[in-house]
Amino acid sequence: MKPLLFAFTPDAGICRSIAASLELEPCEFELRTFPDGETYVRLLEPCNDRDAIIICPLQQPNDKLLPLLLLVETLRDLGIHKVGLVTPYLPYMRQDIRFKPGEGVTSRYFSSILNAHFDWLVTVDPHLHRYSTLDEIYTIPNRVVDAAPVAAKWMAAHIENPLLIGPDEESSQWIQKAAANADVPYEVLLKQRSGDYQVDVSELKNDWQGMTPVLLDDIISTGKTMQQTIVSLKRAGLREPVCIGIHGLFADNAYQELIDAGARAVVTTNCIEHLSNKIDVGAEVAAQIRILMDN
């Protein structure tokens, strides 16, 4: 029997794309908030003796987590076999160390919640900096989609004479893969972050006149990392860049601020639904789901 699909945002591009690539049976459910703020959950179809996939994009996770957990527990209570979670953006990955005494290492606590409730997990490019793989904190079977080759393909098809620029050391994992895939040169800069909105990015070391800079990073949140990188590019006399983010979180007014700062275009994958979505990673997510379902 086909696995059941519970999609929190069924009309989002990535959900449609995943559903189109897999044999799933979409399932209706009701989630609403009582006047006192508590969550009501009801399945509108039987689910016993079936496997299920929940697609729940977990950006802005705090308000989504409890309804998600109440849904998965309802499924288990009503006789579901296995439940996998697909969250194209995996939150709470950046607090991967105690930067200051007394801080919580929330990436670990968040992973322990998901480990306790789900049978498997699929996500796209989690922010792996001090963890070398997701397995260091996720004990359930998991698969990670690598968006860099898809971004490289988009870049090769849409940008003439591209030069990949990584704003910081962490970005070099995506930059190197994308550069190898598209066979283009690259430079990775250095970043110093002193606060949520305070970022410094180093100057370019090489002369790249005549090329089109393409900034690539896993996350655009406040957009300050990309904005400061644009400042460095301007100082080097380069053209206006195209900014590619795998996960466009766009806190506050970050999208417009990037355009105002001089981005020629801001492009994201459809991991997080946004008007900048140009790169569809749904087929790649579906391929990883298939591997876990087959196992």
Three-class SS of 127-188:
CCCCCCCHHHCCCCCEEEECCHHHHHHHHHHHCCCEEEEECCHHHHHHHHHHHHHHCCCEEE
Query: Two tokens at 16?
Result: 């449609």
Closest approach, Cβ 38 to ligand R5P, in A, equals 33
Closest approach, Cβ 46 to ligand R5P, in A, equals 42
Among 50, 55, 87, 224, binds ligand R5P (CB under 6 A): 224
The residue type of 227 is: Q
Query: Two tokens at 9?
Result: 């945002």
Q: Which helix (H) or strand (E) holds 32?
A: strand 29-33
Query: Two tokens at 162?
Result: 């591209």
- By CB under 6 A, the count of residues binding ligand R5P is 15
Say whether residue 221 binds ligand R5P (CB under 6 A).
Answer: yes
- Taking CB under 6 A as the rule, which mask of x and - marks residues 165-194 in contact with ligand R5P? --xx-xx-----------------------
Judged by CB under 6 A, the stretch of 34-42, 62-70, 203-211, 222-230 that binds ligand R5P is: 222-230
Residue 49: name the closest of 79, 83, 84, 4 by CA.
Answer: 79
Among 57, 91, 223, 241, binds ligand R5P (CB under 6 A): 223
- Taking CB under 6 A as the rule, which mask of x and - marks residues 198-217 in contact with ligand R5P? -x-----------------x
Residue 134: name the closest of 83, 85, 169 by CA.
Answer: 85
Q: Which residues, 99 to 128, sit near ligand R5P by CB under 6 A?
A: 127
Q: Which residues bind ligand R5P (CB under 6 A)?
A: 127, 167-168, 170-171, 199, 217-225
